[in-house]
Amino acid sequence: MGTHLSRTVAEGRAFMQVIEGRPMDALSGERIDVVCPSDGRVFASIPASGAADVDRAMRAARAAFDGPWSRMPAFERGRCLTRLGLLVEKNAEELAALESRDTGKPIRQGKADVAAALRYYEFYGGAADKIHGDTIPFLEGYTALTLREPHGVVAGIIPWNYPLQILARVAGAALAMGNTLVVKPAEDASLTTIRIAELALEAGIPAGVFNVVTGYGGTAGAAVSAHPMVDYVTFTGSPATGTAIQQAAAINNRGVTMELGGKSPQIVFADADLDAALPVLVNAIIQNGGQTCSAGSRVLIEKPIYEKLAAALAERFAALTAGPHDADLDLGPLITLAQKQRVEAYVRAAEETGLPVLSRGRIDPGAPQSGFYYAPVLFGEVDPDSALAQEEVFGPVLSLFPFEDEAEAVRLANHTEYGLVAGVWTRDGARQHRVAKRVRAGQVYVNAYGAGGGVELPFGGFKKSGHGREKGFEALFDMSATKTIVFNHG
């Protein structure tokens, strides 16, 4: 039944953005076609907003912040988020189908994203009234204390790979702290963001608190990040767009959280439990077609087991099949034709250097020719300085690197500009600790790899992977500012 719904959901619907609690078209009346990556066919449309629409949304968010929202008791804001979580659960099937059709992800991934979104609203609903300030020992005759205050209007610029999840981690933390929101979802995947804003109203979140402006990055997105009414910007996406957003926000000297992807390594030592590691290594690059900020795109293998593990991975890769979202195979299509061409270019460039493909998966013969499918590719003995080893491919392409010893493993792991996530596979307890500490990554998993989920776990990058932390309790600090109050009572 889920399969059927994801084939027909939202067919022909002209979606509206949500501003001040009302469905609104773009002032220009311009629209963007919504394409299903599984067949390349247009099935719906969204407004193509510009600066004037953004300005409306900002004014609504500002008014809602100055209104009851920021003064509402924290537990009541928490209840609003908890109710939103329950509505996500109630509408789970529709949301999963919508996400899956809009992005091409297999329907089970759409369902997993709904489950994670529910957890975010639940987690931040419960956390809203559990964050508090300090009292600080100070001079005789004084009392000093701190409050955690919301920034005001938070702008959230959301990518297309996990819209439901990334929106939930942004909105959950921002709203829990009493901020209001203007969200700009990606032009390639806006539908579930619109639905969540509609559900937020149903959950009792006041009009104007949760605004959604749809449109292209260069127009709507640029207008959002440069708007003088924005108090804080949070962004997940490419480093280049991150730089543009930070420059825009710098005009008004506003704070930012940047989650800019990765080139995350998994380090496999010769003593590792390979049976446990193998499916996790494959899933970390195949999940969502490799279009995951925390994708495990580099596997570093200790030399004594290199041939054996490379052969096992090659066997798994050869058995992988890409197909339509509703067929629920190993992976779906990529998000757009442009993204498919990006991935193709990386693979072609690597092949042109003489690097052989170790193994390639296949595209389901029944998949529509007009879909954006790309069969998974495995490369062995990749040059650590090559583009394939250094840049985020954002597709189902895995690179293997042999290493001699622990020191070389750490050096290779850190040998990119990114630093988001890492995996360490070994039974040696002391080495687990040493390597986990020496790898520069915001999250390190030992004998595990946690792509997605883990709403409780602080997440964010070192180096080019960005700054600031999302998820977990820690996100509540990014989404608020400390105010210090000092009383002189003599």
Per CB under 6 A, the list member of 237, 323, 461, 468 interacting with ligand NAI is 237
CA 236/CA 472 separation, integer angstroms = 16
Apex CA 309: angle with CA 305 and CA 311, to 5°? 125
Q: Which of 198, 196, 188 is nearest to 167 (CA)?
A: 196
Any catalytic annotation for residue 293?
A: yes
Q: Which of 259, 302, 392, 470 is catalytic?
A: 259
Per CB under 6 A, the list member of 342, 415, 434, 463 interacting with ligand NAI is 342
Instruction: For residue 158, state whether it binds ligand NAI (rule: CB under 6 A).
Output: yes
Per CB under 5 A, the list member of 39, 53, 102, 470 interacting with Mg ion is 102
Instruction: For residue 39, state whether it binds Mg ion (rule: CB under 5 A).
Output: no
Q: Which one of 100-108, 304-312, 339-347, 461-469 is the stretch in contact with Mg ion (CB under 5 A)? A: 100-108
Type of residue found at 369: Q
Minimum separation from the CB atom of position 238 to ligand NAI (A): 3
Type of residue found at 72: M
Tokens 């009851």, located at residue = 68
DSSP string of 33-65, one letter each residue: EEEETTTTEEEEEEE---HHHHHHHHHHHHHHH
β strands within 276-368, DSSP E: 298-302, 321-322, 357-360, 362-363
Q: Which one of 113-121, 146-154, 232-240, 424-432 is the stretch in contact with ligand NAI (CB under 6 A)? A: 232-240
Contact of 135 with 353, CB cutoff 8 Å: no
Instruction: For residue 54, state whether it binds ligand NAI (rule: CB under 6 A).
Output: no
Instruction: For residue 421, state whether it binds ligand NAI (rule: CB under 6 A).
Output: no
Instruction: For residue 470, state whether it binds Mg ion (rule: CB under 5 A).
Output: no
Instruction: For residue 225, state whether it binds ligand NAI (rule: CB under 6 A).
Output: yes
Tokens 């792991």, located at residue = 413
Any catalytic annotation for residue 93?
A: no
Minimum separation from the CB atom of position 102 to Mg ion (A): 4
Residues 368-397 that bind ligand NAI (CB under 6 A): 392, 394
Contact of 165 with 99, CB cutoff 8 Å: no
Structure tokens at 203: 């959950």
CA 480/CA 61 separation, integer angstroms = 16
Per-residue binding letters, 250-279, with ligand NAI (x by CB under 6 A): ---------xxx------------------
Q: Which of 3, 21, 32 is nearest to 190 (CA)?
A: 32
Residues that bind Mg ion (CB under 5 A): 35, 102
**Positions marked catalytic:** 259, 293
Residues that bind ligand NAI (CB under 6 A): 157-159, 161, 184, 186-187, 217-218, 221-222, 225, 236-238, 241, 244-245, 259-261, 293, 342, 392, 394
